[in-house]
């Protein structure tokens, strides 16, 4: 399959998942608002969502793809079966521990709610109901890594849609029943686990649908490869999901502010649309290519591939960051301000979104550059970079939270993204695996010029349309996109050679 077709399939699947996620969050806001019940539900969902986003964006691919690609097909199928069996048993045990210790976990996830015993009890209940989704989506991610390695992207792109799709159906059904907020959140927590089970079933069907057996189950053999995979699994998840860890820490701090958990959640969900797309493309397409280059010893080819991938990432991330910052208030109002979600909640969410948008380019750059560390097997460097970003997030969020509330916490997340990107780039330079070439610097300069043109146009249009509804906001978004496309073409940020390069075989 050509790179353009693979990219489109993975990208469209990721985009569709994010669009469904938007619809889901709009319905969340309408059904639950931003009060104590919403804070409890979103706090309980934070850990399952963290795992779902990390593994759904290929978080396990950095350890699975390089290891399995070195094996013969039969050995790879048997090893994949061993990994699924061992991870399945480990996750079952973990799920059991969480069900028993959900109360302690609820306090860890939202320590600011400890004064409200009723709200913390709801966090405990929702944690017990929603955590089984972790088992399902993690096993589905392992199966998806096997499918991606064999060039079968359809199921891995479409299966994750079931989680958001299932929750949307549940929200629509409950809206007609007019249930109390507590009962709505209870059913939603249970529905998320059921949707995860459906996702796992779809991936399993894809694994057994072809003529070639991609997974073969047997009594697991404790091989050095399996041991390395298990030992590396947690560090890889932490390094792959650095941004999610930053948000998890920010959520704990935000729990001390009324509606802080909800505002941070909704603002981060909007910001995740472009970031999630780049994460899926990086782990699903760039990582296998870099792994092949590394095995062949093509160091210069790795550096060149990184720079070109970074150009594409920033071509999307920089305008997205500017647009989210400028349009944060009308976006928050249009997406969420209805039902139980009030105007003050939309304002708080908009300020959080503006702060988070500042870190989007750095988070995107870190996603792209870290793929080389994964392909090389430098998990320690990737993990240390994530830890540094996490430490910066906490160290910055705490002092900024007191004067600015949840907005200051979101600024701390952006600082953490900056530190993470710098740490990843520094690690690559130490290994001699990255240096920005003239083409990258020239392209980024042209992209910045196009983004500036788009930003001026959006600000001017906002002054003409101060109250943005659905139609006017859509016009602003499409007009900004069109203006950016024209400016990118005029400045040379996008050329005809780029389209030709996309059609080359991967």
**Encoded tokens for 47:** 């850990």
DSSP assignment letter at 111: G
Per-residue pLDDT of the chain (506 residues; tens, 9 = 90+): 444 455 555 556 666 777 787 788 788 888 887 778 888 888 888 888 777 766 655 556 666 776 777 777 777 788 888 888 888 888 899 899 999 998 888 888 888 776 665 788 898 999 999 999 889 888 888 888 787 776 666 666 677 777 778 888 888 887 777 788 888 889 889 988 998 898 888 888 888 776 667 787 888 777 776 776 666 666 666 777 788 889 989 988 988 888 888 899 889 888 877 776 655 554 445 545 555 665 556 667 777 777 777 887 888 889 999 999 999 988 888 888 777 778 888 899 999 999 999 999 999 888 888 877 776 767 788 889 999 999 999 999 999 998 999 999 999 999 999 999 999 999 888 888 777 888 889 989 999 999 999 999 999 988 887 665 778 888 888 899 999 999 998 988 877 766 555 445 44
- CB-based contact 133:52 (threshold 8 Å): yes
Q: Pick from 320, 307, 440, 306: which is nearest to 373 by CA?
A: 306
Alpha carbons 229 and 32: distance in angstroms, whole number = 40
**Encoded tokens for 153:** 């992207």
User: What is the predicted pLDDT for the residue at 413?
Assistant: 96
- CB-based contact 484:319 (threshold 8 Å): yes
User: What is the predicted pLDDT for the residue at 3?
Assistant: 46
User: What is the predicted pLDDT for the residue at 291?
Assistant: 55
User: What is the predicted pLDDT for the residue at 505?
Assistant: 45
User: What is the predicted pLDDT for the residue at 355?
Assistant: 96
Tokens 């550096």 appear where?
303
Alpha carbons 10 and 370: distance in angstroms, whole number = 19
User: What is the predicted pLDDT for the residue at 407?
Assistant: 95
- CB-based contact 473:334 (threshold 8 Å): yes
Please state the φ and ψ torsions of residue 2, each to the nearest 5 degrees: -70, 160
Alpha carbons 263 and 247: distance in angstroms, whole number = 12
2 pairs with which residues across the strands? 505
**Encoded tokens for 344:** 């003050």
Instruction: Tell me the DSSP string of 302-367.
Output: HHHHHHHHHHHHHHHHHHHHHHHHHTHHHHHHHHH-STT--HHHHHHHHHHHHHHHTTHHHHHHHH
User: What is the predicted pLDDT for the residue at 446?
Assistant: 93
**Encoded tokens for 346:** 């939309």
- CB-based contact 447:365 (threshold 8 Å): no
Angle at 254 between CA 251 and CA 256, to 5 degrees: 130
């Amino acid at each position: 399959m050509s790179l353009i077709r693979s990219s489109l399939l993975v990208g469209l699947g990721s985009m569709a998942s994010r669009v469904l996620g938007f619809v889901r969050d709009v319905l969340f806001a309408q059904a639950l608002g931003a009060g104590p019940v919403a804070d409890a539900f979103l706090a309980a969902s934070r850990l399952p969502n963290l795992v779902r986003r990390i593994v759904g964006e290929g978080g396990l691919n950095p350890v699975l793809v390089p290891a399995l690609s070195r094996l013969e097909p039969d050995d790879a199928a048997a090893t994949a079966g061993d990994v699924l069996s061992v991870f399945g048993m480990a996750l079952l045990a973990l799920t059991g521990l969480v069900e028993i210790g959900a109360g302690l976990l609820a306090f860890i996830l939202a320590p600011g709610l400890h004064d409200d015993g009723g709200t913390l009890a709801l966090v405990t209940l929702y944690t017990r109901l929603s955590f089984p989704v972790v088992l399902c989506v993690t096993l589905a991610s392992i199966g998806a890594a096997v499918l991606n390695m064999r060039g079968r992207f359809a199921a891995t792109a479409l299966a994750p849609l079931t989680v958001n799709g299932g929750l949307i159906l549940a929200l629509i059904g409950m809206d007609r029943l007019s249930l109390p907020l507590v009962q709505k959140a209870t059913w939603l927590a249970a529905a998320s686990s059921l949707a995860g089970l459906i996702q796992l079933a779809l991936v399993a069907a894809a694994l057994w649908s072809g003529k070639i057996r991609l997974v073969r189950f047997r009594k697991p053999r404790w091989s050095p490869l399996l041991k390395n995979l298990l030992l590396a699994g947690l560090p890889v998840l932490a390094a792959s999901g650095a941004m999610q860890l930053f948000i998890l820490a920010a959520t704990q701090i935000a729990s001390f502010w009324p509606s802080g958990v909800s505002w941070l959640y909704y603002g981060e969900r909007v910001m995740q649309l472009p970031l999630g797309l780049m994460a899926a493309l990086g782990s699903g397409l760039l990582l296998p290519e870099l792994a092949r280059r590394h095995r062949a010893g093509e160091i210069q080819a790795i550096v060149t591939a990184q720079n070109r991938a970074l150009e594409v990432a920033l071509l999307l991330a920089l305008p997205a960051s500017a647009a989210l910052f400028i349009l944060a208030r009308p976006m928050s109002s249009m997406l969420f301000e209805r039902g139980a979600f009030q105007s003050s909640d939309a304002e708080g969410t908009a300020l959080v979104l503006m702060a988070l948008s500042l870190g989007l380019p750095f988070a995107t750059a870190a996603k792209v550059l870290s793929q080389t560390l994964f392909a090389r097997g430098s998990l320690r460097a990737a993990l240390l970079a994530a830890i540094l970003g996490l430490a910066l997030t906490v160290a910055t969020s705490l002092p900024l939270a007191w004067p600015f509330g949840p907005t200051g916490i979101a600024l701390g997340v952006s600082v953490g993204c900056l530190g993470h990107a710098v740490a990843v780039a520094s690690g690559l330079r130490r290994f001699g695996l990255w240096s920005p070439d003239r083409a990258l610097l020239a392209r980024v300069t042209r992209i910045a010029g196009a983004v500036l043109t788009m930003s001026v146009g959006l600000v001017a249009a906002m002054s003409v349309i101060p109250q943005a509804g659905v139609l006017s906001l859509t016009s602003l978004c499409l007009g900004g996109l069109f203006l950016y496309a024209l400016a990118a073409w005029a400045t040379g940020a996008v050329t005809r050679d780029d389209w030709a390069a996309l059609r080359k075989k991967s």
